[in-house]
Amino acid sequence: MNFAAVEPRSRYLMCEGREIHFMDWVPAQAGGPVVVAWHGLARTGRDMDPLAAHLCAQGWRVICPDTIGRGLSQWSPKPEAEYCLDFYSRIARSLVDQLGLQRFHWVGTSMGGAIGMVCAAGTLQGRIERLVLNDIGPQLAAPAVQRIRSYAGSPAAFATMGELEQYFRTVYKPYGYLPDAQWRLLTESSARRLPDGRVTPHYDPAMVMQFEHHPQDYELWATFDRIDVPVLCLRGAQSDLLLADTAEAMRDRGPRALVVTIAGCGHAPALNVPDQLELVQRFLSEARSTV
């Protein structure tokens, strides 16, 4: 995919007293639909580049934030209080308010989907028109959460960017197929250099305090049941975080999600190949049409 066809703007806004970075993908012709695309727990908004480039080329404006404590956004001075879904949703509300977005869609991978659920059922209810949950649901498998905490809370550090890229290729193998150029972008857009010169993933390790100080944050069935907009749930066929029975239950309660299994992926599909991109675009464009 040729990302050079669209040049996104790198922007910053103060949201809830914290500086938040986001990429703003604006199509050549303004006035089209808008999507907020939110990344996963230990990732950055640049993960959404393939989806944003695809949608922007079709006339969509796409907003891709870095969550507080990730990427180029400010790290929280109050990690035990602010690294949680409630604060993330307040940041989201501030961001879209400042951008003047009254109606928009939401695509969220993992944590980004959980933020979307909280917003769609609460702070942004009535403003989110359609919601895409990428390998996330209202109930998570405990062993997978522990697996993620084990590496996210103590991020590895390496002498070279090549070693960091190899680490990402190993940890994020469940994403599915990524060409070499996307692995390089993923690495370069989510790396920071430590005082000793080594490189490590670009996030605040304290963000795992969410699991210690907000242990029920991802128990979201009551939240899910309040959502009243069309929901598409993408589940990686080998996902260990969103189990098949949870995804099946999502079909039968609350917004009665349309669930699609993505072959060749675990947690979480990278939203970077034509079939996945077209699936998301078709759902956002046609709501409850058959996918």
**pLDDT for 131:** 98
| Average pLDDT of the residues in 74-79 | 98
Q: Is the pLDDT of residue 37 over 70?
A: yes
**pLDDT for 291:** 42
Q: Please give the share of the chain, as a percent, with pLDDT higher than 90.
A: 91
| Average pLDDT of the residues in 200-220 | 96
**pLDDT for 148:** 86
Q: Is the pLDDT of residue 281 over 50?
A: yes
Mean pLDDT across the chain, nearest whole number? Answer: 95
| Average pLDDT of the residues in 44-57 | 97
**pLDDT for 5:** 57
Confidence of residue 290 (pLDDT cuts 50, 70, 90): very low
The reply to whether omega before 263 is within 30° of 0 (cis) is no
Q: CA 217, CA 219: separation in Å to the nearest integer? A: 6
**pLDDT for 273:** 97
| Average pLDDT of the residues in 133-143 | 97
Instruction: Please say whether the beta carbons of 236 and 174 come within 8 A.
Output: yes
| Average pLDDT of the residues in 165-171 | 96
Neighbouring-strand partners of residue 64: 23
Q: Is the pLDDT of residue 114 over 60?
A: yes
Model confidence pLDDT, tens digit, residues 86-105: 999 999 999 999 999 999 99
Q: Is the pLDDT of residue 252 over 90?
A: yes
Per-residue burial over 122-150, b = 16 or more CB atoms within 10 Å of its CB, e = otherwise? bbbeebbbbbbbbbbbbbbbeebeeebee
- What does pTM read for this prediction? 0.95
Task: Select from 217, 199, 90 the least CA-distant residue to 149.
Answer: 217
| Average pLDDT of the residues in 81-86 | 98
